[in-house]
Chains A and B, each alone.
Chain A
Amino acid sequence: MKIMLQIGIIFGVCWIGEGISMLLPFPFPSSVIAMIILFLLLLTKALKVDHIRLKAEFLQKNMAFFFIPASVGIMENFDLLKENVVPLVTIAIVSTVLTFGAAGMTVKYLMRLQEKLRGGKEHDRVDV
């Protein structure tokens, strides 16, 4: 589908996300609402991957580019960054290690459990 329409679809979903975000009684990022809407549209086949592929791939492949202006804003907070550099780096690294371990181990044990349960079921069937 034409790139203009693809941009229109993605921007449209984002705009609807902003509207829903305003209606919600609690703060919820509109971009995440848009992501959920887009996912549901794809899942229900209301939208085909081809309807948004080019635009979505463009956005994803260049994702980091869109953060440049926001990151350059660090210029104005340079003193704050300098004062807190030790806790900031420590917290970022330690929590990354803990998060990595917690997520990985949970998956590992849940998959073992799942296999055991599935294995158990099959075993039952054999017994019957």
Chain B
Amino acid sequence: MIEWTSSALFGILLCIFTYEIGLWINKKAKTPLANPLIISVILVIAILQIFGIPLDNFQKGGDFINMFLAPATAALALSVYSQWELLKKNWIPVVGGALVGSAVSLGSIYGMSKLFGLDDVITASLLPKSVTTPIAMELSTEAGGIAPLTVAAVMISGIGGAMFMPFLIKLFRLDNPVAQGVASGTASHAIGTSKALQLGETQGAMSGISIGVAGILTVVLHLIFFS
């Protein structure tokens, strides 16, 4: 009967239903810790383990879903475009902030990885972790990193940034909504943006733009310094 799970439909269905459960728990719990993706991944792994289903069987459906990662990244263009007027007015601070933030991210990760004596594979997996998952994954695999490890680091950055955001805003005295938004999007991508939206419309919009801007800048910096 285990063959039954080798249909691509099995993996797709498992993802859909565990994700729906994740969304439901997230709605009830109202904390960034109850992240739908994390809940879904834990449920999928638990189900595969309990029933002894091979990962390869699950990944037949997984490959189908993976195919949507690139289109989902490309679709970020729409959120940058829909805030074009706001971006045009503030493009120097936004691009400047995202650039300095991305550089500090890459630099601090590289420095700390050396400090901890991590090998090249793990360092490559961590380096792009501040940007949105699909871009981070692609940068990681291109540099010889392990994609799932990158996703884990991306999640920690997103959830950590969202949880500590009110504290970080006070710590760095960011009284300006544009500064709050750019910091959120550059450091904590989409998870940060959902928190930034709660702070205000400008913060949310700026955070959304910064996901795309910091993504591109990180790719360029990564290319210059790490390949």
Interface residues of A (CB under 8 A from B): 10-11, 13-14, 17-18, 26-32, 34-39, 42-43, 49, 52-53, 55-57, 59-60, 63-77, 80-81, 84, 87-108, 110-111, 114
Q: Write the B147-161 contact mask toward A (1 if CB under 8 angstroms, else 0).
A: 111011101110011
- B183 to A38, Cβ gap below 8 A? no
- A68 to B75, Cβ gap below 8 A? no
CA of A74 to CA of B102, assembled, Å: 26
The interface residues of chain A lying within 8 Å CB-to-CB of B215 are: 32, 35
- B75 to A69, Cβ gap below 8 A? no
Counted as pairs of residues, one from A and one from B, with CB atoms less than 8 Å apart, the total is 314
Least Cβ–Cβ distance between A94 and chain B, in angstroms: 7
17 A-B residue pairs with Cβ-Cβ distance under 8 Å, sorted by A, are A10-B71, A11-B71, A32-B73, A43-B84, A63-B133, A64-B19, A68-B15, A68-B37, A73-B55, A75-B148, A77-B146, A91-B113, A96-B188, A102-B103, A103-B98, A107-B94, A107-B178
The interface residues of chain A lying within 8 Å CB-to-CB of B33 are: none
The chain B residue sitting closest to A93, CB to CB, is B160
The interface residues of chain B lying within 8 Å CB-to-CB of A77 are: 146, 148-149
User: Count of chain B residues with Cβ under 8 Å from any Cβ of A?
Assistant: 108
- A27 to B223, Cβ gap below 8 A? yes
Partner of A111, one of B40, B93, B98, B219: B93
- B174 to A71, Cβ gap below 8 A? no
CA of A111 to CA of B181, assembled, Å: 13
- B133 to A67, Cβ gap below 8 A? yes
CA of A98 to CA of B84, assembled, Å: 27
Query: With A17-B74, A88-B152 in contact, is A66–B176 under 8 Å at CB?
Result: no
The interface residues of chain A lying within 8 Å CB-to-CB of B175 are: 108
- A68 to B41, Cβ gap below 8 A? yes
Given contacts A14-B74, A32-B216, A110-B97, 20 further A-B contacts (CB under 8 A): A11-B71, A17-B74, A31-B69, A32-B219, A35-B74, A52-B75, A65-B16, A67-B133, A69-B58, A69-B66, A72-B58, A73-B55, A76-B148, A90-B112, A100-B165, A100-B184, A102-B101, A107-B178, A107-B179, A111-B178
The interface residues of chain A lying within 8 Å CB-to-CB of B135 are: 29, 31-32
